[in-house]
Amino acid sequence: MLKHLISNKLPASHPLTYLFLAFITMAGLSYINFMPGLVNALAGDIGFNEAEAGQIVAFNGYGGLIGSIIAIFLVRRIQWQPTMLWCLVLLAAFDLSTVWVGEFSAITSGISDFISILSWRFSAGIFGGLSLGIGFAVLARLNNPDRAFGTLLLIQFSIGSIVMYLLPDLEAQLNAYAVFYVMAGFVILSIVLLPFLPTLGITNPESYTQEKSRSVSLTGSPKNALLLMLGIITYQIAASAIWAYVGLIGLGADMSNDDVSMYIATTGLLGLPGAMLPIISGNRYGRLYWIIAGVAMSVVSAIMLSVTHLTPLLYVIAMSLLFFSWPAIQSYLLAVTAEQDPSGKLSTVAAVVSSIGLASGPLIASGLLSEESFSLMLYVCAAIFVLSFFLLFKPVQAQEKEHSMRLPAQYSS
């Protein structure tokens, strides 16, 4: 079986194609999946304060934003696999050398240098964002975008839970920089998986003609596309702000580091059924109701975490609501994006928009912290969740109407 896979590339419709491509796309900015662990490490033994930790994560994300913007202009002009390979090789080098940069500055100055780590992670983010943008464009060209992006979210939350559970032990066995070894490991594994994937040419005119039949008229309007992008960015800002500081929120409520990691890891597993919703149901039952329910759960989660005397039970329930709804909403929205533009370019724009939200969330959150209180930040996140719903309602509703209009035509033919 293994010999067959090595000598023959996987078919485009093979389940492993979806799985491998989703994993490689995830690896570009893998830290997003276990961001609380990264923030905890930066604000812990590495030696930065809470605001600096959030800023480092934010600049990593802004580097990813630049890389994803570059990908928008490259995806139709390049052979994606060689470009992806170079991006992954350079990203692995940056991830591994981050440990050296931090330890060298700690030896010479006594503490890890903030500017050095900030600039180094920004540079790493550029190559991670470029690989992410390319991966999004290729995922959008697969036959089933709901399955493609659902698989991506499924992998993200699986990886997030596993890493959050193992990270305390890894830090004890290695050092405070263990999270960067984990990031490099995912990139190296992606390099191993890349040769198995089919060409999936994103510059092939014949492929584009075939995929163009998926396009729709109502949902493809510029206004709806703009609202959809704004909805994605606002939801990501609020979700990533909470995600970045959820570990410190638990520690601030007098929970131990091991307990917080275990709570995040176990509740993060609820992201798996959330990500599987689009894979199982696709668009057969519509996406609007799932999005309404998901945003409502996200709002409740933010409010519960803002409780003054946060108990472990409330903490677990709040995270469960967010971790279940987040992947479902994102995979449905990415599927909507893929249907608006089957060439894959708008999906790459969505990757850029998502990167803006993921990078801006921790940065905005770091500016809303006051005297180690997270309440103001959480209230703002709840309001941003509500705003995202109003932005998303019209484009998703338009696509639901278009889908219902096309179903009778399909049955009559």
- Does a structural domain hold residue 7? no
What DSSP state is assigned to residue 30? G
Domain of 354, in residue numbers: 14-408
- Does a structural domain hold residue 6? no
Query: Considering the entire predicted model, what is its pTM?
Result: 0.72
Each residue's pLDDT, cut to its tens digit, for the chain (413 residues) gives: 444 444 567 777 788 888 999 999 999 888 888 888 888 888 877 878 888 888 888 899 889 889 988 887 887 777 888 999 999 999 999 999 988 877 666 555 545 577 888 889 999 999 999 998 888 888 877 777 777 877 887 788 788 888 888 888 898 888 888 999 999 999 999 999 999 888 765 554 444 444 444 444 334 578 888 898 999 999 999 999 998 888 889 888 888 888 888 888 888 777 777 767 766 665 556 678 888 888 999 999 999 998 888 899 999 999 999 988 888 888 788 777 877 766 666 777 787 788 788 878 888 888 887 666 788 999 999 999 999 999 988 888 877 776 666 555 444 44
**Three-class SS of residue 220?**
coil
The CATH number given to whatever domain includes residue 166 is 1.20.1250.20
- Does a structural domain hold residue 4? no
* b/e burial code for range 44-60 (CB count within 10 A of at least 16 → b): bebbbebebbbbbbbbb
- Does a structural domain hold residue 74? yes
- Does a structural domain hold residue 256? yes
- Does a structural domain hold residue 146? yes
- Residue carrying the six token digits 């060209």: 141
What DSSP state is assigned to residue 373? B
Instruction: Give the count of domains, the chain.
Output: 1
- Structure-block tokens of residue 360: 């801006």
Contact 179/34 with Cβ under 8 angstroms?
A: yes
